[in-house]
Amino acid sequence: MAKRKRTLVSFFSFCLCLSLTTSGCGLQALLGNKNKTSSASTSKTSTIAVSLNDNDPNKLLITKGIDDLAKKEEVKVKYLGASGSGDDSALKGAKVLIYQAGNANLLKNAQTNKVPVLALSQVPAGINLAGVVTPDQEKTGELMAQALVSKVSEGQVVILQGDPSETGSQELLAGNKSVLSKYPKISLQTFASPSGSESTVKQSLTDYLQKNSGKVQAVLAHTAKLEEAASDALKQLQLAKKVLLIGGQATIPSLERMASGSQVSDVDTNPYLQGANAFQWAQKIINKEPLDISDSITSEQGEIPAKIIQVKTVTPENLAVIQKSYVKTMQSAEQDQKQQTAKAKPQSKSQGDSKTQGDSKSKGGDQQGSGGGDNQGQNSSNVPPGVKKVTETVKTETTREYLDGQGKVIGTEKTTNEQVKTVPPEMLQQEQKAQSSQSSSQGQGDQAAQEKVGSGGSGDSGG
């Protein structure tokens, strides 16, 4: 891959509108700008294909950024898993492909079928891109180095680099060195990590720390996986409090390490904002609108329009705010996924659960007894005559505790989810016949509970 450089042109006024800590306001700002220029009739009939990196610990946050805007714009988003097909059928109907990682055949077929490709985070080789959305990788490297020199001005420093063939990894390392080159008393040892070789790098780091006992002052780890590998190595050698660990990709686990004191700094790369901006640019590409270009990346394919996402250092001073934001956004994304799963669940149950009584009990367990503890499935009375549809309301409350490295609770979150589900009347009748043969005395216990059946639609409403 040819070496690429980034050309900065102007300030990032658009990026300032949105951050994880003010995602609601930022989302409105994005939508406001979007609504002025996009064609609603075009967007509502469009499909955006998305292929993300399954190994990115912030994948769900990126997805949340995409989905929040997609809901407002009523656009269909088709997620393509890394293990899925990369043939023409995967891109059927797609007007643009947002590509971070995944099946490389998707890129070839996108080119063949003239589906514009919008790169996310990295610039894939040999592909003509419509644009790229990426965190400011060089700035990330500079922030990591600045966090280091605020505490150390001499000694050995180990840099754990990501895949050296990737442009973003090259820029990160360049950012590190642009700052550290001003400190001649700091010597650098770099270990590169081609994709999937984190365990090898961990062993290399362990060996180097043992051979240079007491000399290494800090470890700079470019990616979340490398941060985790470095943290494990330092703990095994009992150096977690002696050697500084500085990361380049903040995640919930890395923020927890900072809270426990085993990591001193990280960089917030705004994964939610990456997803939101990728969606917006995809819409503009579909509608053939200008991309509000403020930056570009130079590659062998020429100058590529770039949306550079601002990054910021995570310090002990802003840790609590950023950590809370990541956790809440992740919880919201997880809740969205549960609701999507629940929407598809009633259809599959109505087809499959009525086959046998045993299946209806095992697969429909959350429909029986989980809504308020009334044991509706076990103590139900006869279904009234003329019933064509039965609905059940299931309400669940989840309490989640967040603990530091010592097991101390540092945060508690409660979420409530209420779902309305459709149950085939035939299934209830089968259950009642079986239950009455076991215990005829239990048939009258919850007559009131069955009075819910009758009118009313089905669907999901997330709390």
CA dist., res. 457 & res. 389, Å (int): 9
Query: Within 10 Å of residue 381's Cβ, how many Cβ atoms?
Result: 16
Name the DSSP class of 263: -
Pairing of the two strands 295-299 and 302-309? antiparallel
CB neighbours of 10 closer than 8 A, spacing ≥ 6? 294, 295
Mean pLDDT of the 151-177 span = 93
What is the average pLDDT across 35-52?
64
Whether 72 and 99 have beta carbons less than 8 Å apart is answered as: no
Taking only the tens place, the pLDDT of each residue in 277-316 is: 999 999 999 988 888 777 877 777 778 889 999 999 999 9
Task: Measure Cα distances from 79 to 33, 83, 100, 339 in Å.
Answer: 25, 12, 12, 16
Q: Give the pLDDT confidence score for residue 349 in this predicted structure.
A: 53
Q: What is the mean pLDDT of residues 448-454?
A: 39
Question: Who has greater pLDDT, 23 or 216?
Answer: 216
Q: In the predicted model, what is the mean pLDDT of residues 26-54?
A: 60
Give the model's pLDDT for residue 246.
98
**Binning pLDDT at 50, 70 and 90, where does residue 388 land?**
low
Instruction: Provide the H-helix boundaries in 249-318.
Output: 252-260, 271-286
Ranges 12-21, 34-43, 44-53: which has the least confidence: 12-21
For residues 248-287, one letter each, b for 16 or more C-beta atoms within 10 angstroms of the residue's C-beta and e for the rest, the string is bbbbbebbbbbbeebbbbbbbbbbbbbbbbbbbbbbbbbb
Tokens of 274: 């990456």
Q: pTM of this prediction?
A: 0.67
Write the DSSP string, 174-193.
HHHHHHHTT-TTEEEEEEE-
DSSP helix/strand/coil, 349: helix
> Which of the pair, 249 or 41, is modelled with greater confidence?
249
Condensed to tens digits (0 to 9), the pLDDT of residues 417-444 reads 665 556 666 665 655 555 554 444 444 4
Q: What is the Cα–Cα distance from 391 to 415, expressed in whole angstroms?
A: 23
Report the length, in residues, of the chain: 463
Which pLDDT tens digit goes with each residue over 182-215? 999 999 999 998 877 778 899 999 999 999 989 9
Q: Which of these ranges, 22-31, 65-74, 391-400, has the smallest mean pLDDT?
A: 22-31
* 3 state DSSP class of 165: coil
pLDDT at 22: 39
Cβ(119)–Cβ(99) below 8 Å: yes
> Average pLDDT for residues 80-93, to the nearest whole number?
73
Tokens of 376: 């509706």
Share of the chain above pLDDT 90, in %: 45
Q: How far apart are CA 310 and CA 421, in angstroms?
A: 43
Question: CB–CB of 321/21 below 8 Å?
Answer: yes
Report the alpha-carbon distance of residue 35 to residue 52 in Å, rounded. 26
Q: What percent of the chain has pLDDT over 70?
A: 64
User: Over the stretch 340-366, which tens digit does the pLDDT of each residue have?
Assistant: 777 766 655 555 554 444 444 444 444
**Confidence at residue 292, expressed as pLDDT on a 0 to 100 scale:** 72
- The pLDDT value recorded for residue 360 is 44
Spatial distance between the Cα atoms of 37 and 28, rounded to a whole number of angstroms: 15
Nearest to 423 by CA among 405, 450, 445, 441: 450
Burial class (CB in 10 A: 0-12, 13-18, 19+), 386: exposed
Least confident of 25-29, 103-107, 182-186, 371-375: 371-375
State the pLDDT confidence band at 367, using cuts at 50, 70 and 90. very low
